[in-house]
């Protein structure tokens, strides 16, 4: 059975022989008697990392919402053990702390950009096409058009082509921009 050597760093930091340096909670340290030990079995090592990753994920999720992919990537960079991180992600999903559909819904409601840019950003955050289309099917497009109208009026005095390009860079579709342009011209 493979065993990993363990060195104590400053305060609650522990350094494993594979080079991984991890800050551990007092609870984990006492549970595995890490202050008195110089080695851990591979199973204990994985369990320690799993508990540390779970604790870290709670800390991250207390600050803001994360997609599954985002939290996975943050944890994998820190702890490097895919099996432990996968278990943590599974547990977070079971406890409903991670929900990509809810994440995407909240993300859309809190953005002040167009649909195309929102879709692009959600894809970068690891949200699937299915979830994105489901969320947008429940989304009210009139709010986006109202936001677009405000932005159009804010750009008053600027060349129309520059306005259109600016709004397209913010993720608004050309057809929506044309609708708002026509609407604003009719109101004047």
Cβ atoms 66, 99 nearer than 8 A: no
* Whole-number pLDDT of residue 171: 93
pTM of the model: 0.83
For the chain, domain boundaries: 3-97, 101-137, 141-187
CATH among 3.30.565, 1.20.120, 1.10.10, 3.40.50 for 3-97: 1.10.10
* Whole-number pLDDT of residue 147: 87
Segments of the chain with pLDDT less than 70: 1
pLDDT averaged over every residue in the chain: 91
* Whole-number pLDDT of residue 3: 82
């Amino acid at each position: 059975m493979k065993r990993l050597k363990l060195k104590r760093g400053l305060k609650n930091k522990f350094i494993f022989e594979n080079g991984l340096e991890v800050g551990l909670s007092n609870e984990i340290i006492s549970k595995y008697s890490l202050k008195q030990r110089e080695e851990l079995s591979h199973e204990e090592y994985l369990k320690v990392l799993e508990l540390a990753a779970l604790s870290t994920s709670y800390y991250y999720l207390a600050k803001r919402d994360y997609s599954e992919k985002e939290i996975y990537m943050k944890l994998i960079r820190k702890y490097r053990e895919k099996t432990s991180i996968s278990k943590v992600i599974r547990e977070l999903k079971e406890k409903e702390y991670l929900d990509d559909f809810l994440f995407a819904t909240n993300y859309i409601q809190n953005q002040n950009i167009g649909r195309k840019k929102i879709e692009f950003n959600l894809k970068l955050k690891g949200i699937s096409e299915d979830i994105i289309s489901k969320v947008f099917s429940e989304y009210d497009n009139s709010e986006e058009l109202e936001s677009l109208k405000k932005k159009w009026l804010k750009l008053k005095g600027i060349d129309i082509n520059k306005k259109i390009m600016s709004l397209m860079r913010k993720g608004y579709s050309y057809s929506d921009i044309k609708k708002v342009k026509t609407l604003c011209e009719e109101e004047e």
